[in-house]
Chain A
Amino acid sequence: MTPAITAPAAAPGTTRASLEVTRRALRKYFRTPGLFAMGIVQSVMFLFMFRYVFGGAIATGATTYVYYLVPGYVATIVLFTGGGIAVAVAEDRVQGFTDRLLSLPIPRRAIVLGRIIADSSTNAWSICTTAAFGFAFGFRLQGSVADGLAALGLCLVYGIVFTVVFIVIGLAAPSGQAAQGMSMVAFVFAFISSTYVPVSTMPGWLQPFARHQPVTPMVDAVRSALAGSTTDVVLALAWSALLIFAFTPIAILRYRHA
């Protein structure tokens, strides 16, 4: 006769439950070579191509293209790699893992918070690796190290913003494959912005969208921070806060109905 399990004294609180959800998502990320290694390979490959293939043909005024490209690229790298977040969220739902979590006596917000912590951490990892490759491809700090760290800090905040958005995309998608497809929307925001080319080089009808969608001030704020300025930083942080506070409750509500 096997000994009996005694029922736990109390259900776990938000912190413990969130960290457990985080731990599992991180294990999945680091134990799945396709997620862990391919993300890096992909981000370095595109950086290489923009820097050395398209770069020569893009006019950025007095600024050398690598100095223009790297801050924008690092700030928006999650828009490229974040599809994986949406896929993971959608697959958890399709494969019944979300149901398991929802049937457990844990706060609903812990499921979302756990994912946000895990994915923001892996995003931080890819942001830092990509930044390192930026330096390897010829980028150098123009201002102080503190300015550089401030810029990196902004990029890490964006990592959280984009994480929340991709979680919502994953929850809206009927399958992992659909989530992958729906994540392509992020490309529109990444490309029609000041990330790769100055907005002034785009056709007039496209410029209003490029100028006023959140990614442009976010990228511009990183460039400002690198130069020791605060131009666009407040606007970028306002967009970040707005997106986080709008999308997190949506994610929590969607999980409730998943």
Chain B
Amino acid sequence: MEAPLLDAAGLTVRFGKVTALDGLSLVAPSGEVLALLGPNGAGKTTFVRTVATLIAPTSGALRVRGNDVARSPLAVRRDIGLAGQYAAVEPVMTGRENLVMTARLFGHPEKAAQRAASIVIEQLSLQEVADRRCRTYSGGQRRRLDLGASLVGAPRLLVLDEPTTGLDPAGRREVWDAVRNLAASGTDVLLTTHYLDEADELADRVVVIDHGKAIASGTLGELKASIGRDVIEITLGEPSRLEAVGQILLHVTSNPPRLDHSGRRAIAPTTDGTSQLAATIQRLNEAAIAVDEIGLRRPTLDEVFLTLTDDHIDLPAPAAASQDGSAR
């Protein structure tokens, strides 16, 4: 049987007194795009650096395609291609020169290195800029070249640490398209992100990390189902009655609703979808509140994420948002 892509068991990494990974365990199969999702400081980058053999585990074990990162780091390095948070390309060299250099460092002889560079240039649509020095590249082009540099060794696993941080929307799209194409052509991908939409766009499987532990994992569908509750979402034509709607949702569902004033929306998780939806509609009618839209739906990844990481993160947590609302 093929070894799993990643197999972490009680993986712990400490830097002095700081515990970056705290007994993290996860198993990820081959053939999928795996996204590590978590707030800043959750341990995502430490995990990626451990996968890339840049950091040795303090305790516990991590295997990449069956190879232990501490015992056979060279075998792991032959299997992976790393693109870090910064585009690690040499600005005074051309894109092609960068790719050929990395290809040779992967072990390609000269001709094969040239060929690998040409293939990657085409694959990532860098033909027009390939023979220009990288200092003239846009942010998206640099990131794509960096991605390319991690590809010239034909890695089994591509490791991307926050591949789109700092890019404009067009740059993000460019990188997303490139990652999707690579995954479609059979390369396994591990990426970290704190953008939920990025995980939604790219990942087959998501592991949520917080405080150095995996707190949830599964396919996107599983993860959305794992909080076990659909949400009722109500959109109003004008925001003045939003507080009243919030009161109704609280009363019906017994869950504090999230009030989104700018979007004129009130959202609350529900345990008993249809009957609570019916009860909500009835109460809205009694209170003569006109709504634009009302519905029952699966939670978004954002909502799952907020639920899982509770209030440890810098995004507004549901309870805080509704308190804000009532204070206004």
Contacts and interface: CB of A to CB of B under 8 A. Distances in A.
Interface stretch (B100-108, B170-178, B196-204, B270-278): B100-108
Interface in A1-20: 2-12, 16-17, 20
A7 B153 contact: yes
B28 interface: no
A99 B53 CA distance: 10
B72 to A, nearest CB: 11
Interface residues of B, number: 42
A102 B77 CA distance: 9
Interface in A204-258: 258
Interface string B109-143: 00010011001101100000000010000000000
B90 A24 contact: yes
A8 B153 CA distance: 7
Given A2-B123, A103-B80, A23 B107 contact: no
Contacts of A11: 74, 77-78, 106-107
Interface stretch (B81-89, B212-220, B290-298, B318-326): B81-89
Contacts of A6: 112, 154
Interface in A131-182: none
B152 A5 contact: yes
Contacts, number: 104
Contact of A12 (B54, B107, B112, B119): B107
A103 B52 contact: yes
Interface string A93-135: 0011101111111100000000000000000000000000000
A5 B81 CA distance: 13
A21 B104 CA distance: 10
A96 B86 contact: yes
24 contacts: A5-B116, A5-B119, A5-B120, A5-B154, A8-B107, A8-B108, A9-B107, A11-B74, A11-B78, A23-B101, A24-B93, A27-B92, A27-B93, A96-B86, A99-B52, A100-B82, A100-B88, A100-B102, A100-B150, A101-B105, A102-B54, A103-B81, A103-B159, A105-B107
Given A8-B112, A12-B105, 18 more contacts: A2-B119, A6-B112, A7-B153, A11-B74, A11-B78, A12-B104, A17-B105, A20-B104, A95-B86, A96-B87, A97-B90, A100-B88, A102-B53, A102-B54, A103-B77, A103-B80, A105-B77, A105-B107
Interface of B: 49, 52-54, 74, 77-78, 80-82, 84-88, 90, 92-93, 97, 101-102, 104-108, 112, 115-116, 119-120, 122-123, 133, 149-154, 159, 185
